[in-house]
Amino acid sequence: MTGRSPNINRSRSHEDMVQRLAVHRPPGASGTLFPTIRELLCFAALLGYSEGRRIPLDRDAGVEDVSYQQFERGDAEDLIWLIALAETKDPEILKDGEEGRCAEIFEEYANGGLQILRDVMLRSGGEYPDRDISELLLKCGYLDVENSEPDVSGIVF
């Protein structure tokens, strides 16, 4: 894709939680739960997509944006295209000129994922967001503590 990609927006209605998870370090912690807002949005978009929670941004509440250049680092940009392709099941979405549509799909799934995280944290009181997120991932079947040892039997050195 060579077209000019738009910035990625997030709803201001989640801004306190975004700041808490990706900007402010919890007391006694060596870092934030998510190293960057970009990584939090990618996690939220994957969570939103996997849970079927696609929620349009509430533009009346306002939006914050993350420069698209932030998503060009690493695999984050690929995730935007993959989620759009998975959602539409149409390879035409990957053509030049569709960047805005891809960004919107990503934003809406990220918004849905942030809503899931917000609901979980509100139910628990949100004092320990790392624990809340771990419990959510366990409950949804994304983590398997029974088999916490990785299977490395097929790896040859």
Whole-angstrom Cα distance, residue 132 to residue 149? 22
Number of structural domains (the chain) is: 1
Identify the residue with better confidence: 79 or 25: 79
- Whether residue 150 lies inside any domain: the answer is no
Give 44-60 pLDDT, tens digit per residue: 999 999 999 999 999 88
The residue range of the domain holding 28 is 8-139
Give 20-38 pLDDT, tens digit per residue: 999 988 777 788 889 999 9
Q: Among 82-86, 104-108, 137-141, which is the least confidently predicted range?
A: 137-141
Distance of CA 64 to the CA centre of its chain: 15
Kindly tell me the sign of the dihedral angle through the C-alpha atoms of 122, 127, 130, 131: negative
Q: Report the SS3 class of residue 78.
A: helix
- Whether residue 62 lies inside any domain: the answer is yes
- Whether residue 156 lies inside any domain: the answer is no
Identify the residue with better confidence: 8 or 29: 8
- Whether residue 2 lies inside any domain: the answer is no
- Whether residue 157 lies inside any domain: the answer is no
